[in-house]
Chains A and B, each alone.
Chain A
Amino acid sequence: MTALKAAPQDAAVSIQQLTKRFDGGSPVLDRLNLAIAPGEFVALLGHSGSGKSTLLRTLAGLDPVTEGIVTRPQRVSVVFQESRLLPWKKVWKNIVLGQEDAGTRQRAEVVLEEVGLSHRTNAWPATLSGGEAQRAALARALVREPAFLMLDEPFAALDALTRLKMQQLVADLWKKHGCAVFLVTHDVDEALLLADRAVVLEQGQIRVDLPIPLSRPRKHSDGDLEALRTTLLNALGVHGA
């Protein structure tokens, strides 16, 4: 059975026995199972090359499902590490790309306000800073009111200070929109700060599935984070941190 199914609205994401290999080599994803509840925030960690992006691309429908069953909501959005804004369209036109009804401008303004970018509504993307560009990419993802939001290392290219601000922004937006979020990250602290659950991908499967039952809003300095941090770092094979 192979399929990428669109679940009824607001249904959970479910991945069953997903196997993925490139050019007949050894499988990158090997009978992987994962479920994400509606509105749940899941962070995906794993070594470089472990297949995180591959999993996300399959969920996004960019790569075909060749083995296994994947069910996901109809309305999904993706934010990549690069903003992927069209350089020849003004910021607000990028936000509502592909939407052709009346009121696009207004909708763009609302969502740009949400991400704190209303002063750049009419700017060319090339003039945005890295952080601003990622805010715009977030706005473009949110304006579609997704039931499921995928983020592939969205802040990896940003400086530490900007990253902290963006994490805060994502936490706020998630609270407000209530969509399920799947965040690929290398940053253990980012996962602990934002997610309900951190999962670790290793050898094609989810090896660690760690609930993060901490109250929000969370701070990096929270003492409760320490134990979870050690667990996750151990799971990633980083000892003595």
Chain B
Amino acid sequence: MSDTVVLTETQSATEVPKGPLSFVNLASLRRYASPVFLVCCWQAACSSGFLSTRLVSSPAQIAVTGWALTRDGTLPYNLGVSLLRAASGLGLALTLGVLLALISGLSKAGEDIVDAPLQILRTLPALALVPLFILWFGIGETPKILLVALGAIFPIYLNLHSGIRSIDPKLLEMGSTLGLSRWQTIRDIFLPGALPDFLTGLRYAVGVSWMMLVVAEQVNAESGIGHMMMDAQDFMRTDIILVGLLVYGVLGLLSDQIIRFLEAIFLAWRPSNEKKRTT
């Protein structure tokens, strides 16, 4: 009898006890408590002079600077420039990556021609191409957009390609017994079947885009968040640098949320999503 386990309703630790007070808020507040506490410590360290504000600005100072930069239009302008670059680069990577993945995923000849060179290229660290890109394309928008595209294309291509290749052959057999045309097979089996992998790739691609953009803008640019931060470095404005970091952080979080949202819509058929929606 010693190995008997009784499972009751309150087994789960996150179970909310029923009572007059709402403990729901308490549980969710707990998640935010420790970041808030850390920020408070940071502020306290700065205020007491324990941390030199020359090295690290205080959270309050960052908030003030952030507001000032927004008011005078510096932040919105640079943010707009950066967003446009990221979107253009990502758009280019999406178009090319999807096209190449379809070619190599859907035909044997296509795979032979497309896959090998891409597999070789992907082993090159994209950032090592920065000097070459500046030599080739100068210092305008082109090298920045191309760098973003270069970084983002591989996750998109690789994931979509492997998604297409890993479609269950039993489903393809079924499709052929139902007499599906080639186009119907692609539309109804290959593409939706590869969508989960594609979205995973897209998530990586967005992350890589921001990273490539930071580098591109810090190496050589007259505008953009990265440029704003590099400029601040010359004047030892750690507050502006930290505002830039904060913006990158928020952008990263937001883009992740967008992809999650896309997954919730397009992958509603997955059992895990079904559960998420009903609980």
Contacts and interface: CB of A to CB of B under 8 A. Distances in A.
Interface of A: 60-62, 76-78, 80, 82, 84, 86-89, 97-98, 124-127, 140, 144
B271 interface: yes
B177 A77 contact: yes
B143 to A, nearest CB: 40
Interface of B: 170-171, 173-181, 184, 188-189, 192-193, 195, 268-271, 274
Contact of A80 (B170, B269, B271): B170
A80 B193 contact: no
Contact of B176 (A62, A88, A144): A62
A89 B170 contact: no
B177 A98 contact: no
A67 to B, nearest CB: 22
A82 B170 contact: yes
A84 B172 CA distance: 9
Contacts of B269: 87-89, 124-126
A97 B192 CA distance: 14
A125 B171 CA distance: 13
Contact of B171 (A62, A86, A140): A86
B268 A86 contact: no
B274 A124 contact: yes
A84 B274 CA distance: 20
B contact face: mostly helix, strand, loop, or mixed: helix
B198 to A, nearest CB: 13
Query: Interface centre among A61, A76, A86, by most B CB within 10 Å?
Result: A86
B260 to A, nearest CB: 18
B106 to A, nearest CB: 18
A98 B184 contact: yes
B179 A62 contact: no
Given A77-B177, A126-B271, 18 more contacts: A60-B177, A61-B177, A62-B177, A76-B177, A80-B170, A86-B189, A86-B192, A86-B193, A87-B269, A88-B269, A97-B175, A97-B180, A98-B179, A98-B181, A98-B188, A124-B268, A124-B269, A127-B271
A84 B171 contact: yes
Nearest to B170: A84
A84 B193 CA distance: 13
16 contacts: A60-B177, A61-B176, A80-B170, A82-B170, A86-B171, A87-B270, A88-B192, A88-B193, A97-B178, A97-B188, A98-B180, A98-B181, A98-B184, A98-B188, A126-B269, A126-B274
Contact of B178 (A80, A98, A126): A98
A83 to B, nearest CB: 9
A144 B177 CA distance: 11
Given A62-B173, A80-B170, A86 B271 contact: no
